[in-house]
Structure 1
């Protein structure tokens, strides 16, 4: 790389950077986009330094380059946005919305914290691990006849805190909203 070419670029950059950045700032919504347009404009200038006009023609030429760079950025933004929209639609069709489950889990977790450690343990094994009373009895080293009423009482206490029974364990791929009396036909 010749020292003369680099010096020419540095002078051009120093003399016109503010003008090109201002041009880009006035035409973009975000300052970081303007910075990208400005950087890409001066990349073109570096590559085409031999073609840059001198004198009063320099700034309009730079604005022309910046205008084309900006158009390329806008096309790229539209392509990325279209791709993002398409991916969101495809994901919405294939991946269920888990937000209701997250809210319910948070409510159940908060209510569980208000229960005794014994109730929490039996409910966690049942609700979170999906174990049946006989399996819970095995994990806890108790008889099934002890676990069944303990689980029943713990569920009743949790129901009192939540106002309803929590959903059974596992993944629900489809969710059918329950109609209230007012909404039922």
Structure 2
């Protein structure tokens, strides 16, 4: 039974989902792996596919058409992912242009630390930079990041967690003490303050 299946789910729906999952999981994962550059993206998307299948279990056609129907779901999930990636790449490019053109006021901590952090930050992948900037600069939570990226909330949460880990490892690898070179975490109310509001 799927972990988040409601207790009231009809037994035949659960049995049907489990049969579809057992029959199609490997094929759907292969379909996504052949179309994506990163295996972790395929793993994220195959989870999204089967969440959709579970949510629409009543719409799944009978046996001969069930497998192609699941592939149709995978195709739409992949198309949504690609649209989200294009939007994300466009956002990252626009952000780089804006940052290059804008005069950024320095916080109270040392300019050298800011330069070092920026240098390390730019070594991260575009996807990691994007999810970190959405969380840190735009003060978006994982649900809001998921909307921006066009993915599930859980997927956004995992991407953010992994990106934070890679950034921390990159900072340590560059000989920077993560705790001393990052500003203190603002209280939750300060992080939620709208852009135009006075602090």
TM-score using structure 1 length: 0.50
**TM-score when normalising by structure 2:** 0.46
